[in-house]
Amino acid sequence: MQVKKLLHTRMRVSDLDQTIQFYTTVLGLEVIERKTSPRGSQLAFLKVPNSDELIELTSFPPSGPVRVQEDLVHLAFQVESLDDTIASLVAKGIKVTDGPTQTSSGSRFIFIDAPDGYEVELIERPPDVKIV
Which residues lie closer than 8 Å to 83 by C-beta, 6 or more apart? none
Q: Distance between terminal CA atoms of the chain?
A: 29
Q: Out of 33, 119, 121, 124, pick the active-site residue.
A: 121
What is the torsional sign of CA 91, 120, 31, 38? negative
Q: Is 33 a catalytic residue?
A: no
Distance CA 9, CA 55 (A): 5
Q: In whole angstroms, what is the distance from residue 63 CA to residue 67 CA?
A: 11
Catalytic residue IDs: 121
